[in-house]
Structure 1
Amino acid sequence: MARAIWKGAVSFGLVNVPVRLYAATGEHDIHFHQVHRSDGGRIRMKRTCSVCGEEVAYDEVAKGYESPDGKLVVLSDEDFSDLPVASGHEIDVLRFVPADQVDPILLSKPYYLEPESRAAKPYALLREALAETDRMAVVKVSLRQRESVAVLRVRDKAIVLQTLLWPDEVRAADFEVLETDVELRPQELRMAASLVESLAGDFHPEEFEDEYAAAVKTLIDTRLEDADAAPSAAAEEGSAASGTDGPRGGEVVDLLTALQRSVERARGGSSAEKPAEVEDEAPAARKTTARKTATKKAAPAKKTAAKRTAAGKSATKKASGPAKKTTTARKSA
Protein backbone atom coordinates (compact mmCIF):
# COMPACT_ATOMS: atom_id res chain seq x y z
CA MET A 1 0.00 0.00 0.00
CA ALA A 2 1.24 3.50 -0.84
CA ARG A 3 1.87 6.22 1.73
CA ALA A 4 -1.16 7.57 3.63
CA ILE A 5 -2.41 10.81 2.09
CA TRP A 6 -4.38 11.99 5.14
CA LYS A 7 -4.63 11.29 8.86
CA GLY A 8 -7.59 12.04 11.06
CA ALA A 9 -10.45 10.40 12.92
CA VAL A 10 -13.96 9.15 12.20
CA SER A 11 -16.34 10.74 14.69
CA PHE A 12 -19.74 9.15 15.30
CA GLY A 13 -21.59 10.07 18.45
CA LEU A 14 -19.02 10.34 21.23
CA VAL A 15 -16.64 7.85 19.63
CA ASN A 16 -13.47 8.90 17.79
CA VAL A 17 -11.72 6.29 15.63
CA PRO A 18 -8.21 7.42 14.53
CA VAL A 19 -7.63 6.41 10.90
CA ARG A 20 -5.28 6.87 7.95
CA LEU A 21 -6.54 7.45 4.41
CA TYR A 22 -5.19 5.65 1.32
CA ALA A 23 -6.18 5.92 -2.34
CA ALA A 24 -8.16 2.78 -3.16
CA THR A 25 -7.70 2.87 -6.94
CA GLY A 26 -5.00 3.53 -9.52
CA GLU A 27 -5.11 3.77 -13.31
CA HIS A 28 -3.27 1.22 -15.45
CA ASP A 29 -3.17 3.47 -18.51
CA ILE A 30 0.19 3.75 -20.28
CA HIS A 31 1.28 7.38 -20.44
CA PHE A 32 3.15 8.71 -23.46
CA HIS A 33 5.37 11.78 -23.86
CA GLN A 34 5.31 14.05 -26.88
CA VAL A 35 8.71 13.79 -28.58
CA HIS A 36 10.47 15.08 -31.66
CA ARG A 37 10.10 12.34 -34.26
CA SER A 38 13.63 12.79 -35.72
CA ASP A 39 15.75 12.73 -32.55
CA GLY A 40 13.41 11.68 -29.71
CA GLY A 41 13.77 14.95 -27.78
CA ARG A 42 10.93 15.85 -25.40
CA ILE A 43 8.52 18.54 -26.55
CA ARG A 44 8.17 21.28 -23.91
CA MET A 45 5.09 23.44 -23.79
CA LYS A 46 5.80 27.14 -23.22
CA ARG A 47 3.43 29.61 -21.56
CA THR A 48 2.96 32.52 -23.95
CA CYS A 49 0.69 35.55 -23.67
CA SER A 50 -1.96 35.83 -26.39
CA VAL A 51 -1.75 39.65 -26.25
CA CYS A 52 1.99 40.45 -26.30
CA GLY A 53 3.24 37.06 -27.51
CA GLU A 54 5.98 36.91 -24.85
CA GLU A 55 6.82 33.82 -22.78
CA VAL A 56 5.42 34.16 -19.25
CA ALA A 57 7.25 32.94 -16.15
CA TYR A 58 5.23 30.76 -13.76
CA ASP A 59 5.36 33.36 -10.95
CA GLU A 60 3.67 35.86 -13.28
CA VAL A 61 0.69 33.60 -13.99
CA ALA A 62 -2.59 34.48 -12.23
CA LYS A 63 -6.05 32.90 -12.22
CA GLY A 64 -8.64 34.61 -14.38
CA TYR A 65 -12.36 34.00 -14.85
CA GLU A 66 -14.15 35.06 -18.01
CA SER A 67 -17.89 35.59 -17.75
CA PRO A 68 -20.29 34.50 -20.50
CA ASP A 69 -20.54 38.11 -21.69
CA GLY A 70 -16.76 38.41 -22.10
CA LYS A 71 -15.76 40.23 -18.89
CA LEU A 72 -12.49 39.10 -17.27
CA VAL A 73 -11.80 38.98 -13.52
CA VAL A 74 -8.20 38.36 -12.41
CA LEU A 75 -7.78 36.91 -8.90
CA SER A 76 -4.53 37.03 -6.91
CA ASP A 77 -3.16 34.68 -4.24
CA GLU A 78 -4.24 37.23 -1.62
CA ASP A 79 -7.84 36.98 -2.84
CA PHE A 80 -7.83 33.22 -2.35
CA SER A 81 -6.10 33.45 1.04
CA ASP A 82 -9.08 35.42 2.39
CA LEU A 83 -11.52 32.64 1.49
CA PRO A 84 -12.66 30.15 4.16
CA VAL A 85 -10.57 27.00 3.71
CA ALA A 86 -11.58 23.70 5.23
CA SER A 87 -8.59 22.03 6.86
CA GLY A 88 -9.99 19.84 9.62
CA HIS A 89 -8.83 16.34 10.44
CA GLU A 90 -12.14 14.81 11.38
CA ILE A 91 -14.64 12.73 9.42
CA ASP A 92 -17.99 13.79 10.87
CA VAL A 93 -20.80 11.26 10.54
CA LEU A 94 -23.99 13.22 9.79
CA ARG A 95 -26.42 10.32 9.49
CA PHE A 96 -26.75 6.64 8.56
CA VAL A 97 -28.86 6.07 5.44
CA PRO A 98 -30.12 2.96 3.60
CA ALA A 99 -27.49 1.86 1.09
CA ASP A 100 -30.00 1.67 -1.77
CA GLN A 101 -30.81 5.38 -1.39
CA VAL A 102 -27.33 6.42 -2.55
CA ASP A 103 -27.46 6.69 -6.35
CA PRO A 104 -24.26 5.10 -7.80
CA ILE A 105 -23.94 8.03 -10.22
CA LEU A 106 -23.02 10.22 -7.23
CA LEU A 107 -20.09 8.01 -6.21
CA SER A 108 -16.71 9.56 -6.98
CA LYS A 109 -13.17 8.84 -5.65
CA PRO A 110 -12.81 5.88 -3.22
CA TYR A 111 -10.32 5.68 -0.33
CA TYR A 112 -9.50 2.96 2.19
CA LEU A 113 -9.60 3.81 5.89
CA GLU A 114 -6.98 2.03 7.99
CA PRO A 115 -7.47 2.20 11.78
CA GLU A 116 -4.71 2.97 14.24
CA SER A 117 -3.68 -0.17 16.12
CA ARG A 118 -5.35 1.03 19.32
CA ALA A 119 -8.62 1.70 17.46
CA ALA A 120 -9.12 -1.76 15.91
CA LYS A 121 -12.14 -2.56 18.10
CA PRO A 122 -14.25 0.58 17.50
CA TYR A 123 -13.32 0.38 13.79
CA ALA A 124 -14.63 -3.21 13.63
CA LEU A 125 -17.73 -2.16 15.55
CA LEU A 126 -18.55 0.57 13.02
CA ARG A 127 -17.85 -1.79 10.11
CA GLU A 128 -20.14 -4.53 11.43
CA ALA A 129 -22.89 -2.06 12.32
CA LEU A 130 -22.89 -0.74 8.74
CA ALA A 131 -22.92 -4.27 7.31
CA GLU A 132 -25.69 -5.62 9.54
CA THR A 133 -27.99 -2.64 9.03
CA ASP A 134 -27.23 -2.39 5.28
CA ARG A 135 -26.58 1.32 5.64
CA MET A 136 -23.97 3.87 4.61
CA ALA A 137 -22.72 6.69 6.79
CA VAL A 138 -23.03 10.12 5.19
CA VAL A 139 -20.04 12.21 6.30
CA LYS A 140 -18.29 15.52 5.73
CA VAL A 141 -14.53 15.53 5.25
CA SER A 142 -11.88 18.07 4.21
CA LEU A 143 -9.42 16.74 1.65
CA ARG A 144 -6.81 18.94 -0.05
CA GLN A 145 -8.36 22.06 1.50
CA ARG A 146 -11.77 21.34 0.02
CA GLU A 147 -14.80 20.15 1.94
CA SER A 148 -16.56 17.16 0.44
CA VAL A 149 -19.62 15.09 1.20
CA ALA A 150 -18.81 11.38 1.25
CA VAL A 151 -20.13 8.03 2.41
CA LEU A 152 -18.58 5.28 4.49
CA ARG A 153 -19.35 1.81 3.19
CA VAL A 154 -17.99 -1.68 3.80
CA ARG A 155 -15.82 -3.61 1.35
CA ASP A 156 -14.61 -6.98 2.65
CA LYS A 157 -12.98 -6.15 6.02
CA ALA A 158 -12.25 -2.51 5.21
CA ILE A 159 -14.29 0.65 5.52
CA VAL A 160 -14.23 2.66 2.30
CA LEU A 161 -14.67 6.42 2.26
CA GLN A 162 -16.07 7.40 -1.12
CA THR A 163 -16.49 11.06 -1.99
CA LEU A 164 -19.73 12.11 -3.64
CA LEU A 165 -20.42 14.51 -6.47
CA TRP A 166 -22.45 17.56 -5.50
CA PRO A 167 -26.02 17.40 -6.85
CA ASP A 168 -25.40 20.23 -9.35
CA GLU A 169 -22.48 18.25 -10.81
CA VAL A 170 -24.79 15.49 -12.08
CA ARG A 171 -26.41 16.23 -15.43
CA ALA A 172 -29.99 15.24 -16.12
CA ALA A 173 -30.75 12.82 -18.94
CA ASP A 174 -32.73 15.41 -20.89
CA PHE A 175 -33.46 13.62 -24.19
CA GLU A 176 -36.64 14.34 -26.09
CA VAL A 177 -36.74 10.84 -27.54
CA LEU A 178 -37.28 9.42 -24.03
CA GLU A 179 -40.56 11.32 -23.83
CA THR A 180 -41.91 9.52 -26.91
CA ASP A 181 -44.63 6.97 -26.22
CA VAL A 182 -43.44 3.53 -27.26
CA GLU A 183 -45.76 0.54 -27.60
CA LEU A 184 -44.24 -2.71 -26.32
CA ARG A 185 -46.02 -5.96 -27.19
CA PRO A 186 -46.19 -8.73 -24.55
CA GLN A 187 -44.28 -11.20 -26.74
CA GLU A 188 -41.46 -8.66 -27.18
CA LEU A 189 -41.19 -8.20 -23.42
CA ARG A 190 -41.12 -11.97 -22.91
CA MET A 191 -38.37 -12.38 -25.52
CA ALA A 192 -36.29 -9.59 -23.99
CA ALA A 193 -36.66 -11.15 -20.54
CA SER A 194 -35.66 -14.53 -22.00
CA LEU A 195 -32.54 -12.98 -23.50
CA VAL A 196 -31.64 -11.42 -20.16
CA GLU A 197 -32.04 -14.75 -18.41
CA SER A 198 -29.89 -16.52 -21.00
CA LEU A 199 -26.99 -14.14 -20.21
CA ALA A 200 -27.59 -13.96 -16.47
CA GLY A 201 -24.74 -14.69 -14.08
CA ASP A 202 -22.69 -13.36 -11.17
CA PHE A 203 -20.34 -10.43 -11.57
CA HIS A 204 -16.64 -11.28 -11.26
CA PRO A 205 -14.58 -8.24 -12.36
CA GLU A 206 -11.37 -10.26 -12.60
CA GLU A 207 -12.86 -12.09 -15.59
CA PHE A 208 -12.60 -8.93 -17.71
CA GLU A 209 -9.44 -7.49 -19.23
CA ASP A 210 -8.50 -4.21 -20.87
CA GLU A 211 -7.50 -5.73 -24.22
CA TYR A 212 -6.39 -2.42 -25.71
CA ALA A 213 -3.99 -1.67 -22.81
CA ALA A 214 -2.61 -5.22 -23.03
CA ALA A 215 -2.00 -4.84 -26.78
CA VAL A 216 -0.24 -1.48 -26.29
CA LYS A 217 2.02 -2.97 -23.62
CA THR A 218 2.88 -5.91 -25.87
CA LEU A 219 3.75 -3.50 -28.69
CA ILE A 220 6.02 -1.44 -26.40
CA ASP A 221 7.74 -4.52 -24.97
CA THR A 222 8.44 -5.77 -28.51
CA ARG A 223 9.96 -2.43 -29.55
CA LEU A 224 12.08 -2.27 -26.36
CA GLU A 225 13.59 -5.63 -27.20
CA ASP A 226 14.45 -4.35 -30.69
CA ALA A 227 18.14 -3.59 -31.12
CA ASP A 228 17.27 -0.21 -32.65
CA ALA A 229 15.58 1.05 -29.48
CA ALA A 230 17.24 4.35 -28.48
CA PRO A 231 17.91 5.55 -24.90
CA SER A 232 15.65 8.25 -23.50
CA ALA A 233 16.71 11.81 -24.32
CA ALA A 234 15.74 13.15 -20.89
CA ALA A 235 14.38 12.00 -17.52
CA GLU A 236 11.99 13.81 -15.27
CA GLU A 237 12.12 13.92 -11.53
CA GLY A 238 9.01 12.84 -9.65
CA SER A 239 7.61 14.23 -6.46
CA ALA A 240 5.78 12.22 -3.78
CA ALA A 241 2.78 13.56 -1.92
CA SER A 242 3.10 13.69 1.86
CA GLY A 243 0.46 12.77 4.36
CA THR A 244 -0.79 15.25 6.91
CA ASP A 245 -0.72 14.57 10.59
CA GLY A 246 -3.33 15.71 12.93
CA PRO A 247 -5.98 13.40 14.40
CA ARG A 248 -7.82 15.27 17.10
CA GLY A 249 -7.07 13.96 20.57
CA GLY A 250 -9.60 13.59 23.34
CA GLU A 251 -10.62 11.92 26.56
CA VAL A 252 -9.91 8.18 26.59
CA VAL A 253 -13.04 6.32 27.66
CA ASP A 254 -14.48 2.83 27.56
CA LEU A 255 -16.10 1.97 24.20
CA LEU A 256 -19.40 0.84 25.74
CA THR A 257 -19.62 4.02 27.82
CA ALA A 258 -19.03 6.18 24.74
CA LEU A 259 -21.72 4.31 22.84
CA GLN A 260 -24.22 4.69 25.72
CA ARG A 261 -23.52 8.42 25.89
CA SER A 262 -23.96 8.70 22.13
CA VAL A 263 -27.37 6.99 22.24
CA GLU A 264 -28.47 9.22 25.12
CA ARG A 265 -27.37 12.33 23.24
CA ALA A 266 -29.14 11.19 20.04
CA ARG A 267 -32.36 10.74 22.08
CA GLY A 268 -32.22 14.30 23.35
CA GLY A 269 -29.51 14.29 26.00
CA SER A 270 -26.70 16.79 26.47
CA SER A 271 -24.80 17.73 23.30
CA ALA A 272 -21.98 19.59 25.03
CA GLU A 273 -19.72 16.57 25.31
CA LYS A 274 -16.97 16.19 22.74
CA PRO A 275 -16.15 12.91 20.95
CA ALA A 276 -13.70 10.79 22.92
CA GLU A 277 -10.84 8.75 21.53
CA VAL A 278 -11.51 5.09 22.25
CA GLU A 279 -8.81 2.50 22.89
CA ASP A 280 -9.09 -1.25 23.25
CA GLU A 281 -7.32 -1.31 26.61
CA ALA A 282 -9.31 1.24 28.60
CA PRO A 283 -8.40 -0.19 32.09
CA ALA A 284 -4.68 0.32 31.41
CA ALA A 285 -5.40 3.86 30.33
CA ARG A 286 -7.35 4.49 33.54
CA LYS A 287 -4.41 3.22 35.62
CA THR A 288 -2.10 5.64 33.80
CA THR A 289 -4.55 8.49 34.44
CA ALA A 290 -4.71 7.56 38.14
CA ARG A 291 -0.90 7.67 38.41
CA LYS A 292 -0.82 11.09 36.75
CA THR A 293 -3.49 12.36 39.18
CA ALA A 294 -1.49 11.07 42.19
CA THR A 295 1.62 12.80 40.85
CA LYS A 296 -0.28 16.08 40.47
CA LYS A 297 -1.58 15.81 44.07
CA ALA A 298 1.93 15.23 45.38
CA ALA A 299 3.26 18.29 43.59
CA PRO A 300 1.63 20.91 45.92
CA ALA A 301 3.19 19.24 48.98
CA LYS A 302 6.64 19.54 47.42
CA LYS A 303 6.03 23.20 46.61
CA THR A 304 4.90 23.91 50.23
CA ALA A 305 8.04 22.29 51.64
CA ALA A 306 10.19 24.30 49.26
CA LYS A 307 8.51 27.53 50.39
CA ARG A 308 9.15 26.68 54.07
CA THR A 309 12.85 26.03 53.37
CA ALA A 310 13.17 29.33 51.50
CA ALA A 311 11.48 31.19 54.37
CA GLY A 312 13.90 29.65 56.88
CA LYS A 313 16.92 30.72 54.84
CA SER A 314 15.56 34.28 54.56
CA ALA A 315 15.08 34.51 58.32
CA THR A 316 18.65 33.33 58.91
CA LYS A 317 20.02 35.99 56.58
CA LYS A 318 18.05 38.73 58.37
CA ALA A 319 19.28 37.55 61.79
CA SER A 320 22.94 37.48 60.71
CA GLY A 321 22.82 40.92 59.06
CA PRO A 322 22.92 43.19 62.22
CA ALA A 323 25.54 41.05 63.96
CA LYS A 324 27.95 41.53 61.09
CA LYS A 325 27.43 45.31 61.19
CA THR A 326 28.14 45.41 64.97
CA THR A 327 31.37 43.48 64.56
CA THR A 328 32.51 45.90 61.85
CA ALA A 329 31.77 48.88 64.14
CA ARG A 330 33.86 47.43 66.98
CA LYS A 331 36.82 46.89 64.67
CA SER A 332 36.61 50.51 63.53
CA ALA A 333 36.56 51.71 67.15
Structure 2
Amino acid sequence: MRAIWKGAVSFGLVNVPVRVYSATESHDVSFRQVHEADGGRIKYQRVCSIDGAEVPYSEIAKGFETEDGDLVVLTDQDMKDLPSNSTREIAVQKFVPADQIDPLLFEKSYYLEPDQTAAKPYALLRQALLDADRMAVVTVALRQRTTTAVLRVRDDVIVLQTMMWPDEIRTPDFAIDAGAPTDAEVQMAHLLVDTLAGDFHSEDYEDDYATAVQEMVTAKIEGGEVRRTPESTPTTGEVVDLLAALQRSVAAAREARGEAS
Protein backbone atom coordinates (compact mmCIF):
# COMPACT_ATOMS: atom_id res chain seq x y z
CA MET A 1 0.00 0.00 0.00
CA ARG A 2 1.09 3.58 -0.62
CA ALA A 3 0.53 6.29 1.98
CA ILE A 4 -1.82 9.01 0.75
CA TRP A 5 -1.24 11.45 3.61
CA LYS A 6 1.15 12.03 6.50
CA GLY A 7 0.39 13.82 9.72
CA ALA A 8 0.06 13.27 13.45
CA VAL A 9 -2.67 12.32 15.90
CA SER A 10 -2.72 14.70 18.86
CA PHE A 11 -4.58 14.02 22.10
CA GLY A 12 -3.71 16.07 25.13
CA LEU A 13 0.04 16.57 25.09
CA VAL A 14 0.66 13.33 23.19
CA ASN A 15 1.62 13.54 19.52
CA VAL A 16 1.65 10.42 17.32
CA PRO A 17 3.14 10.82 13.80
CA VAL A 18 1.25 8.55 11.39
CA ARG A 19 0.93 7.61 7.75
CA VAL A 20 -2.55 7.24 6.26
CA TYR A 21 -3.57 4.50 3.83
CA SER A 22 -6.87 3.87 2.06
CA ALA A 23 -8.51 0.94 3.86
CA THR A 24 -10.83 -0.03 1.01
CA GLU A 25 -10.78 -0.42 -2.75
CA SER A 26 -13.62 -0.89 -5.19
CA HIS A 27 -13.90 -4.11 -7.18
CA ASP A 28 -16.96 -3.00 -9.12
CA VAL A 29 -17.10 -4.38 -12.64
CA SER A 30 -16.49 -1.62 -15.18
CA PHE A 31 -17.37 -1.64 -18.86
CA ARG A 32 -16.36 0.57 -21.76
CA GLN A 33 -18.99 1.98 -24.07
CA VAL A 34 -18.34 0.78 -27.61
CA HIS A 35 -19.98 0.90 -31.02
CA GLU A 36 -21.79 -2.44 -31.32
CA ALA A 37 -21.19 -2.62 -35.07
CA ASP A 38 -17.38 -2.46 -35.02
CA GLY A 39 -16.26 -2.37 -31.36
CA GLY A 40 -14.91 1.19 -31.58
CA ARG A 41 -14.76 3.03 -28.26
CA ILE A 42 -17.22 5.87 -27.72
CA LYS A 43 -15.51 9.22 -27.11
CA TYR A 44 -16.93 12.28 -25.40
CA GLN A 45 -16.11 15.88 -26.15
CA ARG A 46 -16.33 18.95 -23.93
CA VAL A 47 -18.74 21.07 -25.95
CA CYS A 48 -20.20 24.45 -24.95
CA SER A 49 -23.99 24.34 -24.92
CA ILE A 50 -24.18 27.92 -26.28
CA ASP A 51 -21.78 28.12 -29.22
CA GLY A 52 -21.31 24.39 -29.83
CA ALA A 53 -17.51 24.71 -29.79
CA GLU A 54 -15.23 22.16 -28.12
CA VAL A 55 -13.70 23.71 -24.99
CA PRO A 56 -10.08 23.02 -23.91
CA TYR A 57 -9.40 22.28 -20.24
CA SER A 58 -7.58 25.60 -19.89
CA GLU A 59 -10.86 27.47 -20.54
CA ILE A 60 -13.05 25.43 -18.18
CA ALA A 61 -14.06 27.10 -14.91
CA LYS A 62 -16.23 26.04 -12.00
CA GLY A 63 -19.85 27.18 -12.06
CA PHE A 64 -22.24 27.27 -9.09
CA GLU A 65 -25.89 27.00 -10.07
CA THR A 66 -28.40 28.97 -8.00
CA GLU A 67 -31.91 27.83 -7.16
CA ASP A 68 -33.18 30.08 -9.96
CA GLY A 69 -31.00 28.31 -12.49
CA ASP A 70 -28.48 31.14 -12.84
CA LEU A 71 -24.75 30.36 -12.90
CA VAL A 72 -22.05 32.04 -10.85
CA VAL A 73 -18.63 31.42 -12.41
CA LEU A 74 -15.76 30.86 -9.95
CA THR A 75 -12.23 31.34 -11.27
CA ASP A 76 -9.05 29.66 -10.03
CA GLN A 77 -8.25 32.82 -8.09
CA ASP A 78 -11.68 32.72 -6.44
CA MET A 79 -10.99 29.14 -5.32
CA LYS A 80 -7.59 30.13 -3.92
CA ASP A 81 -9.25 32.86 -1.85
CA LEU A 82 -11.50 30.34 -0.09
CA PRO A 83 -10.52 29.43 3.48
CA SER A 84 -8.50 26.21 3.54
CA ASN A 85 -6.74 24.18 6.16
CA SER A 86 -3.39 22.60 5.36
CA THR A 87 -2.53 21.46 8.89
CA ARG A 88 -1.16 17.95 9.24
CA GLU A 89 -2.87 17.31 12.55
CA ILE A 90 -5.56 14.80 13.44
CA ALA A 91 -6.85 16.56 16.54
CA VAL A 92 -8.84 14.55 19.07
CA GLN A 93 -11.82 16.58 20.28
CA LYS A 94 -13.44 14.05 22.63
CA PHE A 95 -13.89 10.34 23.32
CA VAL A 96 -17.48 9.18 22.95
CA PRO A 97 -19.32 5.86 23.43
CA ALA A 98 -19.22 3.86 20.20
CA ASP A 99 -22.99 3.31 20.18
CA GLN A 100 -23.69 7.07 20.08
CA ILE A 101 -22.55 7.44 16.46
CA ASP A 102 -25.00 6.43 13.76
CA PRO A 103 -23.19 4.28 11.13
CA LEU A 104 -25.08 6.29 8.50
CA LEU A 105 -22.62 9.12 9.19
CA PHE A 106 -19.56 7.08 8.22
CA GLU A 107 -18.04 7.84 4.82
CA LYS A 108 -14.50 6.62 3.97
CA SER A 109 -12.08 4.46 5.95
CA TYR A 110 -8.30 4.76 6.30
CA TYR A 111 -5.63 2.80 8.18
CA LEU A 112 -3.20 4.71 10.39
CA GLU A 113 0.37 3.41 10.64
CA PRO A 114 2.72 4.94 13.23
CA ASP A 115 6.21 6.13 12.45
CA GLN A 116 8.89 3.87 13.93
CA THR A 117 9.54 6.39 16.71
CA ALA A 118 5.82 6.61 17.58
CA ALA A 119 4.96 2.94 18.05
CA LYS A 120 4.59 3.23 21.84
CA PRO A 121 2.21 6.25 21.97
CA TYR A 122 0.26 4.67 19.07
CA ALA A 123 -0.16 1.47 21.13
CA LEU A 124 -1.15 3.60 24.11
CA LEU A 125 -3.94 5.32 22.18
CA ARG A 126 -5.08 1.99 20.72
CA GLN A 127 -5.29 0.38 24.16
CA ALA A 128 -7.09 3.39 25.63
CA LEU A 129 -9.76 3.17 22.90
CA LEU A 130 -10.20 -0.56 23.46
CA ASP A 131 -10.38 -0.35 27.26
CA ALA A 132 -12.86 2.53 27.23
CA ASP A 133 -14.94 1.03 24.37
CA ARG A 134 -15.09 4.50 22.88
CA MET A 135 -14.32 6.23 19.61
CA ALA A 136 -12.23 9.37 19.35
CA VAL A 137 -13.98 12.19 17.51
CA VAL A 138 -11.35 14.14 15.56
CA THR A 139 -11.01 16.94 13.04
CA VAL A 140 -8.66 16.45 10.10
CA ALA A 141 -7.88 18.33 6.89
CA LEU A 142 -7.86 15.97 3.93
CA ARG A 143 -7.60 17.40 0.41
CA GLN A 144 -7.49 20.95 1.79
CA ARG A 145 -10.88 20.66 3.47
CA THR A 146 -11.48 20.13 7.18
CA THR A 147 -13.81 17.30 8.06
CA THR A 148 -14.99 15.42 11.12
CA ALA A 149 -13.89 11.82 11.60
CA VAL A 150 -13.56 9.15 14.25
CA LEU A 151 -10.73 6.88 15.34
CA ARG A 152 -11.52 3.28 16.26
CA VAL A 153 -9.56 0.03 16.52
CA ARG A 154 -9.80 -2.83 14.03
CA ASP A 155 -7.49 -5.85 14.21
CA ASP A 156 -4.93 -3.95 16.32
CA VAL A 157 -4.83 -1.10 13.81
CA ILE A 158 -6.30 2.35 14.40
CA VAL A 159 -8.79 3.23 11.68
CA LEU A 160 -9.74 6.76 10.69
CA GLN A 161 -13.28 7.02 9.35
CA THR A 162 -14.38 10.31 7.87
CA MET A 163 -17.96 11.36 8.51
CA MET A 164 -20.74 13.13 6.67
CA TRP A 165 -21.88 16.47 8.05
CA PRO A 166 -25.26 16.25 9.82
CA ASP A 167 -27.03 18.31 7.13
CA GLU A 168 -25.86 15.80 4.51
CA ILE A 169 -28.02 13.05 6.00
CA ARG A 170 -31.42 13.03 4.36
CA THR A 171 -34.66 12.60 6.32
CA PRO A 172 -37.06 10.00 4.87
CA ASP A 173 -40.12 11.78 3.48
CA PHE A 174 -42.46 8.83 3.66
CA ALA A 175 -44.54 7.25 6.42
CA ILE A 176 -45.03 3.55 7.13
CA ASP A 177 -48.49 2.72 8.41
CA ALA A 178 -48.77 -1.05 8.56
CA GLY A 179 -50.74 -1.30 11.79
CA ALA A 180 -49.64 -3.04 14.97
CA PRO A 181 -48.54 -6.68 14.53
CA THR A 182 -50.37 -9.38 16.45
CA ASP A 183 -48.74 -11.34 19.27
CA ALA A 184 -48.65 -14.42 17.06
CA GLU A 185 -46.90 -12.50 14.28
CA VAL A 186 -44.33 -11.12 16.72
CA GLN A 187 -43.61 -14.58 18.11
CA MET A 188 -43.21 -15.96 14.59
CA ALA A 189 -40.83 -13.10 13.72
CA HIS A 190 -38.77 -13.86 16.83
CA LEU A 191 -38.67 -17.53 15.83
CA LEU A 192 -37.42 -16.59 12.37
CA VAL A 193 -34.70 -14.36 13.86
CA ASP A 194 -33.58 -17.17 16.19
CA THR A 195 -33.54 -19.63 13.29
CA LEU A 196 -31.30 -17.40 11.17
CA ALA A 197 -29.17 -16.10 14.06
CA GLY A 198 -25.40 -16.34 13.68
CA ASP A 199 -22.13 -14.45 13.64
CA PHE A 200 -21.01 -12.26 10.76
CA HIS A 201 -17.94 -13.40 8.81
CA SER A 202 -17.23 -11.25 5.77
CA GLU A 203 -15.44 -14.12 4.02
CA ASP A 204 -18.76 -15.97 3.84
CA TYR A 205 -19.94 -13.55 1.16
CA GLU A 206 -18.68 -12.94 -2.36
CA ASP A 207 -19.51 -10.76 -5.32
CA ASP A 208 -21.44 -13.25 -7.46
CA TYR A 209 -22.04 -10.66 -10.17
CA ALA A 210 -18.33 -9.89 -10.65
CA THR A 211 -17.50 -13.60 -10.65
CA ALA A 212 -20.18 -14.31 -13.24
CA VAL A 213 -18.94 -11.49 -15.49
CA GLN A 214 -15.37 -12.75 -15.18
CA GLU A 215 -16.43 -16.29 -16.13
CA MET A 216 -18.45 -15.00 -19.07
CA VAL A 217 -15.52 -12.93 -20.37
CA THR A 218 -13.17 -15.91 -19.96
CA ALA A 219 -15.54 -18.16 -21.92
CA LYS A 220 -15.80 -15.61 -24.74
CA ILE A 221 -12.01 -15.18 -24.92
CA GLU A 222 -11.43 -18.94 -24.97
CA GLY A 223 -14.14 -19.25 -27.63
CA GLY A 224 -12.41 -16.71 -29.83
CA GLU A 225 -15.07 -14.02 -29.42
CA VAL A 226 -12.57 -11.16 -29.32
CA ARG A 227 -12.79 -8.15 -31.61
CA ARG A 228 -9.58 -6.57 -32.82
CA THR A 229 -9.92 -2.89 -33.62
CA PRO A 230 -7.32 -0.30 -34.63
CA GLU A 231 -7.45 0.93 -31.02
CA SER A 232 -6.78 -2.49 -29.50
CA THR A 233 -3.60 -2.90 -27.49
CA PRO A 234 -1.54 -5.91 -28.64
CA THR A 235 -1.21 -8.64 -26.02
CA THR A 236 0.94 -11.73 -25.61
CA GLY A 237 -1.83 -13.98 -24.35
CA GLU A 238 -0.98 -13.41 -20.71
CA VAL A 239 -4.46 -11.99 -20.09
CA VAL A 240 -6.02 -15.32 -21.03
CA ASP A 241 -3.69 -17.12 -18.62
CA LEU A 242 -4.57 -14.68 -15.85
CA LEU A 243 -8.30 -15.05 -16.42
CA ALA A 244 -7.96 -18.83 -16.41
CA ALA A 245 -6.01 -18.68 -13.17
CA LEU A 246 -8.70 -16.49 -11.61
CA GLN A 247 -11.35 -18.93 -12.76
CA ARG A 248 -9.47 -21.85 -11.22
CA SER A 249 -9.09 -19.89 -7.99
CA VAL A 250 -12.84 -19.27 -7.82
CA ALA A 251 -13.54 -22.97 -8.50
CA ALA A 252 -11.06 -24.04 -5.80
CA ALA A 253 -12.61 -21.67 -3.27
CA ARG A 254 -16.06 -23.02 -4.02
CA GLU A 255 -14.85 -26.62 -3.76
CA ALA A 256 -13.27 -25.85 -0.38
CA ARG A 257 -16.68 -24.71 0.84
CA GLY A 258 -18.36 -27.80 -0.55
CA GLU A 259 -20.14 -25.89 -3.32
CA ALA A 260 -20.59 -27.04 -6.88
CA SER A 261 -18.19 -25.45 -9.36
What's the TM-score, normalizing by structure 1?
Answer: 0.67
Percent of aligned pairs sharing the same letter: 58
Please show how residues 182-197 of structure 1 align to structure 2 within 5 Å. Answer: 182-197=179-194
Aligned to 1:161: 160
Please show how residues 41-190 of structure 1 align to structure 2 within 5 Å. Answer: 41-177=40-176, 180=177, 182-190=179-187
> 1:232 & 1:124 partners in 2: Cα distance?
56
> 1:29 & 1:235 partners in 2: Cα distance?
23
Q: Is the 8 A contact 1:42 1:233 kept in 2?
A: no
Consecutive unaligned residues of structure 1, counting only runs of 5 or more, are 237-333
Alpha carbons of structure 1 residues 40 and 199: separation in structure 2 relative to 1, 3 Å? same
Q: Max radius of gyration: which structure?
A: 1
Letter in 1 for 2:194: E
> 1:201 & 1:228 partners in 2: Cα distance?
44
Letter in 1 for 2:195: S
Please show how residues 28-47 of structure 1 align to structure 2 within 5 Å. Answer: 28-47=27-46
Consecutive unaligned residues of structure 2, counting only runs of 5 or more, are 234-261
Query: What do you get for the CA RMSD once the two structures are aligned?
Result: 1.6
Matched, 1:215 2:199: no
> 2:39 & 2:130 partners in 1: Cα distance?
54
Moved more, 219-228 or 121-130: 219-228
Higher strand share: 2
CA deviations 1:225-275 (Å, max 9, x no partner) are 233423565479xxxxxxxxxxxxxxxxxxxxxxxxxxxxxxxxxxxxxxx
Deviation at 1:144, TM superposition (A): 0.9
In structure 1, the residue corresponding to 2:45 is in which secondary structure?
coil
> 1:170 & 1:202 partners in 2: Cα distance?
29
> 2:45 & 2:82 partners in 1: Cα distance?
31
In structure 1, the residue corresponding to 2:3 is in which secondary structure?
coil
What's the TM-score, normalizing by structure 2?
Answer: 0.85
Q: Is the 8 A contact 2:17 2:114 kept in 1?
A: yes
Which runs of structure 1 show a deviation greater than 4 angstroms over 4 or more consecutive aligned residues? none
Deviation at 1:189, TM superposition (A): 1.1
Of structures 1 and 2, the one with the larger relative CO (CA 8 A, separation 6+) is 1
Q: Is the 8 A contact 2:38 2:229 kept in 1?
A: no
Deviation at 1:221, TM superposition (A): 1.5
Aligned to 2:22: 23
> 1:79 & 1:33 partners in 2: Cα distance?
36
> 2:8 & 2:231 partners in 1: Cα distance?
43
Higher helix share: 1
